[in-house]
Amino acid sequence: MVGGSRPQALPQSRRRVTSAGGVVLRERPGGKGLEVLLIAIKDGRVWSLPKGQVEPGERYPQTAVREVREETGIEARVLAPLGSIRYHFTVKDDGVQTTVTKEVHHFLMGYVGGTPRPQKEEVDGVAWFPVREALKRLSHQNERNAVLKALACWDTQAPMSAQP
């Protein structure tokens, strides 16, 4: 190359992250359909399903229950597995470009109790939304697909809901 040098490529790395979370549903007050619990992240710009990393020794359903409680203040119980999704993204940290492969295990969960309260360190807001509005607000198609799977599953087995 004449008169200059090529920009240096960042060092590369890879890592895997495994998470679990829930599509938490409850009957709307007055019995007028269902509501979905969502969290707001990234200064409230992104609406998402509650989820988080699996801790050592934890099973995926345990992670989903814990993360829903920690991020939202809501107690919920696992009703059925919804499958998992896998996606990739890149982050730059300390001059290293890392490709992250993230696998998220989703579960249909029924509301047991509690009042929405965001986890200050990670979540900007928590709210219940009617299904149609939740589907519009969710920022990622893979999470909209998880909600649609949860609704189909709810219709076939969950009207007994989350009663202990």
Write out pLDDT tens, residues 51-100: 999 999 999 999 999 999 999 999 999 999 999 999 888 888 888 888 98
- What mean pLDDT is predicted for residues 110-120? 94
Strand partners, 91: 98
Q: Is residue 58 part of a domain?
A: yes
Q: Is residue 63 part of a domain?
A: yes
Q: Is residue 37 part of a domain?
A: yes
Q: Is residue 146 part of a domain?
A: yes
Q: Is residue 164 part of a domain?
A: no
pLDDT value, residue 5: 60
pLDDT at 162 over 70: no
Prediction pTM value: 0.85
Q: Which of 12-26, 57-71, 125-139 has the lowest mean pLDDT?
A: 12-26
Q: Is residue 6 part of a domain?
A: no
What is the band of 11 on the pLDDT scale with cuts at 50, 70, 90?
confident
Q: Is residue 163 part of a domain?
A: no
Nearest to 118 by CA among 19, 40, 24: 40
The DSSP secondary structure of the chain, one letter per residue, reads: -TTS-PPPPPPEEEEEEEEEEEEEEEEPGGG-SEEEEEEEETTTTEEE--EEEPPTT--HHHHHHHHHHHHHS-EEEEEEEEEEEEEEEEEEETTEEEEEEEEEEEEEEEEEE------TTT-SEEEEEEHHHHHHHBS-HHHHHHHHHHHHHHHHH-TTTT--
Domain extent for 123: 12-157
Q: What is the CATH number of the domain that holds 124?
A: 3.90.79.10
Q: Is residue 31 part of a domain?
A: yes
Domain count, the chain: 1
